[in-house]
Chain A
Amino acid sequence: MQNPETAGDVLLYEKRKSVFPKAVSGPFRRFKWLVMVVTLTIYYVTPWLRWNRGPYAPDQAVLIDLANRRFFMFGIEIWPHEFYFVAGLLIMAGIGLFLITSAVGRAWCGYSCPQTVWTDLYQHVDRLIDGDRNAQLRLQAAPWGPAKIARRLVKWTIYLGIAFATGGAWIFYFADAPTLQHQFWTGAAPSIAYATVGVLTATTLLFGGFMREQVCIYMCPWPRIQTAMLDEKSLIVTYKDWRGEPRGSVKQAKSSAEPLGDCVDCNQCVAVCPTGIDIREGPQIGCITCALCIDACDTVMKQVGRPRGLIDYATLDGSAHEKAGGPPERIVRTIFRPRTLVYLGVWSAIGLALLFALGVRKHIDISVAKDRNPAFMLMSDGQVRNAYTVKLRNMENRPRTMEISMDGLKGAVMWSDDMPQSSAARSLRRTVAPDQAEAVRIYVIAPSHEEEQDFSFNLLAIDKEGGSDSHKTHFDAPEEKESE
């Protein structure tokens, strides 16, 4: 049997070239550190923040309570019927990505995508255990022996620890974190918690620890979408070939007959790249615009006494302009242009609309479902009865007394199925438990002369804060009898 990886000399697939990025320092590296610390802190700390909501609601600041169908976020509580807030946030996130992409290119990929952040974290672990790029390369080539096995075991254990912490933190968003943590370690947590941690640990380990840049290049759809969204005014990491080429070392430059460019061909930009590409080949899908090559190149340029920015953020338009001899464009002008301003406008408009809706939303709610089988009921005394299932929502974290009354249907009275018909009246009161919806079955009875008609149930909160809601429904009655 032939080696399945090759058929003759033709490779059936491209084998992954291992990437061992070299440590680098500089402003972009510091910025990446900052983003990593901020995003990871948000991720790990958020579920542990407390927020006092009184005795009837959980005190976790951010909680996605799937079992009780509530979403808590600091002072905001979202019910399932208000899911449009979440939809609005998702739309904002989408347009936000458009905005960021059109203004500063693939900044999401380069700095804040979880895949990038965790890959970065794992690469730091590599450098911590195995040493920098050259040591890693040597270890990779070395035959398996006790030292290599020991290093690998230590490294993979740390990998697993990070992956476990990542998966483990996720579940705390869905239940009370301190309780769940105790349950988790004592084996009392729900099996879905263990399954979630297991799956997320495995995916983190696989994607962050081993697949890394392959996820960005082969699996993720976002680079393709972003590539389509970039235009000649988008900031991309650019190797200024008109300045760098022809490349050659400082020594070669001295002995060369014709003048060489600024690029000293030190390969530092390739060595530091976390996705293992050569930026000097031009813009490419593997470039996540993390700008570490800018840091690396600037360091070298400083050492050889040439101006910084041989590799730099630039737009295609700016590059053309600069190539023709013009001054480098100002970044501010590339960021504030009509396209980004339109995105910004749409994004802000949705945000403001959501805030407005949040400010004026009701905290009590009534909805009515009419019995349709039977639609009406003729009683022995000739009166007509209709039945309704009325749902009252109390979205406050305290019990509230509410009054249900009828608007229209003048002669009718109503009662609920847990009270005697003798106490039927034009309105009735219920106390709805805090943060609960309560269904109550209501009978409405009207004298025989009432014809079928529309009317409304009104709901009024009987306390200082007040609030009201109303739901239109229908009263059915027998059709007029045929005359003799």
Chain B
Amino acid sequence: MIKIKSAPARAGARILGIGAYRPDRIVSNDEIAPAIDSSDEWIQQRTGITERRFAGEHETLVGMAVSASVEALAEAGIKPEQVGIVLMATLTNPVQFPAVAPQVASELGIPNPGAYDVGAACAGFVYALATAADMVKSGSIEYALVIGAERMTDVLDLTDRGSAFIFGDGAGAMVVGPADFNGFGPVVWGSDGSQSEAISMTSSWFDFRSGKVKEPPTLRMQGPVVFRWAVSEMVGVVQKALVAAGIEAKDLGAFVPHQANNRITDAIVKALDFPDSVAVARDIRNSGNTTAATVPLALHALRAEGRAISGSPALLLGFGAGLTYAAQVVVMP
């Protein structure tokens, strides 16, 4: 058989930089509450959210992704032309095709990289990051740009009592590149398509197009079902990711779970019995649930607060529509 060359594998890969973009407009619970017959107190009690950001017309999905990426590339000290692949986690591309990632790459001045979108909803960023890490380690790529960006307001029904108060807009990005140590533990991921209805849309675009339904589709979530799934299943996923990385909870510098609901985070943290030395990301308070953008935004916020120690391990956890989930230990930049 003819021999095919492979790229030389690398000793390791690591996160080199993180960037964030938070839309200008801050939206309080008081602004959301009247349309869902609710109150600031009710929303805070159920979710821990005090405010979120809503993107304006000028803050496009591509534009927010570009802004977050510029910051991540600057911290990494990487020029656009060095990036070999752009992975974009999102579920709010306003068109079914083409993908957003190539447009983001062009705007950034990255010449002809591999570029595609990752459709794993709230787990999408962690899926994409794990994929990028393996690409760098295998030698296929030198530098990867991983983005999570959402304009959730484009798919929200602000009169839906089950979801209107939860979501927000924003973008986060990370640059992954070669390292002389291992900056990523093995990813623990999975899915459960039998629960695809738990977080979904009110109808398909085709039903709307054919006139079968009168309203365009919007997000719908079976909150208690998702809550139960997340609280009962994610504890085991986190434990598996720790075992896979060969570390214990006490070794973690930070825990950065998907910012779905503070009560899910509370329940997971309680069950895992983390020591106080583990900084737990609570960015949901000020950002709401930004779906694929929560993990990079939350780690970015944790660093801004001085609670993410460079060089120490953080456990990233994504979970959501699909249902999909992914957990991975990473070394913080």
Task: Report whether chain A binds chain B.
Answer: no
